[in-house]
Structure 1
Amino acid sequence: MPVLESDAGPVWRKRTKGQALARWFGWLLGVAIFLWCWQRISDKTTWFFVWDAPDIAADVLSRATPPRWEYIDRLWWPIWDTINIATLGTIAALIMAVPVAFLAARNTTPSAIFIRPIALLIIVATRSINSLIWALLLIAIIGPGVFAGIVAIAIRSIGFCAKLLYEAIEEIDATQVEAITATGASRWQVMAYGIVPQIAPAFAGIAVFRWDINIRESTVLGLVGAGGIGLQLQGSLNTLAWPQVSLILLVILLAVVISEWVSAKVRGAII
């Protein structure tokens, strides 16, 4: 904190004159960038449709109510497919994420120079692409259906699970590992008895948390043909069957709420 001299004695200021000018320049630059971006967005926006949006939304809502309750019989199987996509995709992701996490952690990787960067690249690559993009790519490769949705969810979840898990591995208590190593245990015994018990609660929490996220993501995979209740939603939207759309949205909401409740209960029991 700079001290400035004056006739009345030293004056304390939070910033020097140069720091204050730099701060104001930063704010001015930020405002200029914001105004430029807003101008670009405004030029490409049809404001007539924006101002008309409340009336359109009210019209759609009036068409969508009441929901078509008799359509519920056609949603049980799609919502079951959605749950299976999330569950099987999460299990497959965990199976693949565990070795990647051990290869990425500094204290367990066989080579910090060669293998660890590859493991980190896998984590970043799988986390960087949205599950919808993975689903589009996989549908082009293996065709539409539930299997493409499972693989898309699995690939998308590898990076998430592996990142949290390798961070948990790096934070373990090293003294336990040293004690087991001192007994002459092999590398695999050290891992089984010194590392795995310490990360087991974190692993269980990560698995449940990711499954909860995947329930939400799998509900929309059907929009691109990857199976599940999203396929019914896409068909209803294409035919402007708004009562069916509202019912499907209610079913999706109910499924997400139940998955959130189950996830919270399981995490509470683990922690």
Structure 2
Amino acid sequence: MTVQESDLNWRHRTPKTRLLLWLGWFLLVALFVWCWDLMTQNTLWVFVSDAPRAGADLLDRAFPPRWEYMDRLWKPLWDTINMATLGTLLGIIMAVPLAFLAATNTTPSRLILRPFALLCIVATRSINSLIWALLLVSILGPGLLAGILAIAFRSIGFIGKLLYEAIEETDVAQIEAITATGASRSQILNYGIVPQVLPAFFGISVFRWDINIRESAILGLVGAGGIGVQLQASMNVLAWPQVTLIILVVLATVVFSEWVSASVRKAVI
């Protein structure tokens, strides 16, 4: 058999591999159909077919925005920004020690303190800020304090995880050089590890603040204060022009926070 003939007989996959591949695709399609049927079994399709008309009617009533309502949004908007900022700062204060306890190269105890720190990081990251707000509003009552704590608890897991991973990725050679000078453990931490993770720390913190601006805007829906309270009140009375204005204000605030976040990360990283 010549080289040209062997090339013509070459196949990318064996018949058994192709059969298994087609079987896998068939099972995937069957799973999708089953999930779709399960999710839509209680769907009233008459409402779905009427959705375009209802959506167009809602947009018609929502525009133009009620610009004179802006005078009542400045204070809630300021509360929302403060909620995100204070919650982020409080989350940083609690996350930084947990990150150093969770990192394998800085923890003083791998058997006790590290598992405890990892448990705290995973637990706080697993619960959404809206759930935290619901729990805290039921305990502390409605207001900004519940929102600040909800943002803080949610931020612990995010900041803690990214920061302890950054700590573990520090340059070992630089740490060994400082250790060779006879430096103490605290000096190794201050001069060998902290300078390396500081740019990542600033980037993570500002990025989390940017996320918290968006999350704090909706916490008012469950009574945690901020501009979400005005959004909920406007939706309850079907004041759609006010809802449109609030959405535009939130959008502008998020765009501004994104610009600040990108500028800070560019400056420090």
TM-score by length of 1: 0.94
Map 1:111-150 onto structure 2 (within 5 A). 111-150=109-148
Map 1:152-171 onto structure 2 (within 5 A). 152-171=150-169
- % of aligned pairs identical? 69
How many Å apart are 1:261 and its aligned residue? 1.1
Aligned positions, number: 264
In 2, Cα distance between equivalents of 1:176 and 1:139: 47
Q: Secondary structure at the match of 1:246?
A: helix
In 1, Cα distance between equivalents of 2:243 and 2:220: 14
The aligned counterpart of 2:202 is 204
TM-score by length of 2: 0.95
The aligned counterpart of 2:71 is 73
In 1, Cα distance between equivalents of 2:28 and 2:120: 35
- AA aligned to 1:77 is K
In 2, Cα distance between equivalents of 1:67 and 1:203: 40
The aligned counterpart of 1:181 is 179
- AA aligned to 2:114 is R
How many Å apart are 1:113 and its aligned residue? 2.6
The aligned counterpart of 1:14 is 12
How many Å apart are 1:246 and its aligned residue? 0.8
How many Å apart are 1:51 and its aligned residue? 1.3
1:129-156 Cα distance to aligned partner (Å, 9 max, x none): 1100000001111111001000000000
How many Å apart are 1:242 and its aligned residue? 0.9
- AA aligned to 2:97 is P
1:20-73 Cα distance to aligned partner (Å, 9 max, x none): 222222111111111111112221111111111111111111111111111111
The aligned counterpart of 2:193 is 195
How many Å apart are 1:9 and its aligned residue? 4.8
- Answer with 65-74 or 105-114: which moved more: 105-114
- Answer with 107-116 or 11-20: which moved more: 11-20
The aligned counterpart of 1:61 is 59
Runs of 5+ in structure 2 lacking a partner?
none
1:70-117 Cα distance to aligned partner (Å, 9 max, x none): 111110000000000110011111111111111111111122232222
In 1, Cα distance between equivalents of 2:58 and 2:86: 36
CA RMSD of aligned residues (A): 1.3
How many Å apart are 1:14 and its aligned residue? 2.8
In 1, Cα distance between equivalents of 2:21 and 2:41: 30
Runs of 5+ in structure 1 lacking a partner?
1-7
In 2, Cα distance between equivalents of 1:115 and 1:14: 52
In 2, Cα distance between equivalents of 1:94 and 1:55: 47
- AA aligned to 2:200 is A
